[in-house]
Amino acid sequence: MPQPQIVDSHCHLDFPELSVELDAVIDRAHAAGVTRMVTICTKLRNLPQVQAIAETYDSVFFAAGTHPMSVADEPMASVAELVELAAHPKMVGIGESGLDYHYTADSKDVQQESLRTHIEAARQTRLPLIIHARDADDDMARILTDEYRAGTYDCVMHCFSSSAELARAALDLGFYLSMSGISAFPKSGGLRDIFTAAPLDRILVETDAPYLAPPPFRGRRNEPAYTVHTAKIAAQAFGMEYADFAAATSANFDRLFWKAA
């Protein structure tokens, strides 16, 4: 039987932990059955490096935005700037954007302004919004819902590890939830329950590499090849064969990230 194919919907290939041996990292991903990767630009001044990676490797696409933990220290992105960037054939998403009150609650006003800018860019480009949410569930649900009522857009809750309430708010808007290595940790049973309560056609998988490696690599550098380890535990949680889960999440990826399909 051919090896199941799967997608790493969110990684950071420009980060030094991975960029020092990028050819080998990409080769190991392909060998594991990871056919496509989306590398995320978290600060627009780093876009040239991120874009160059996507232009070098056929299997790599990119998204661009300003990470909520960086918005206080970076120039505010404009809708027009993000829309212009989205014309690149391999730019497939807007973000990551969002809200993070864990370490950076003091910048929450500017985070919210940036989030609304990224939402409008997602609306205008029809590219999916990529959301980072931490310790900001109420504001996150409120803004996503209010903005959706003002004009529809598509969205994935990247590396989802928030509450069941935020998951439901996102799913009610037709958004997607992405499973990272956190969902594969032994003590993450409650988080896996949130995912398995969601429709299968709203689930993606990711590494967030170089962070959050799943077992048996927990505590070490993560890389796209390890998508498979998270997905195998996810498949068990859904009561599915790995090949079927890989096919389902890849189809979900194609539907949401239509430019990479």
- Tell me what the mean pLDDT of segment 128-156 comes to: 98
Confidence of residue 104 (pLDDT cuts 50, 70, 90): very high
3-class secondary-structure state, position 45: helix
3-class secondary-structure state, position 191: helix
Predicted confidence at residue 2, as pLDDT, reads 84
CATH number of 6-260: 3.20.20.140
Instruction: Identify any residues that bridge with 134 across adjacent strands, giving them in sequence order.
Output: 100
pLDDT at 1 over 80: no
Rounded CA-CA distance 200/249 in Å is 8
Predicted confidence at residue 18, as pLDDT, reads 97
Predicted confidence at residue 75, as pLDDT, reads 94
Q: Which tokens hold the place of 150?
A: 């003002």
Within the chain, residue ranges assigned H as helices are 16-19, 22-32, 47-56, 79-85, 108-125, 137-150, 164-172, 189-196, 227-238, 242-256
pLDDT at 126 over 80: yes
Predicted confidence at residue 88, as pLDDT, reads 98
- Tell me what the mean pLDDT of segment 41-51 comes to: 98
Predicted confidence at residue 52, as pLDDT, reads 98
Q: Where do the structural domains in the chain lie, given as residue ranges?
A: 6-260
Q: Dump pLDDT digits (tens) for 202-215.
A: 999 999 999 999 99
Query: How would you classify the pairing of strands 129-134 and 91-100?
Result: parallel
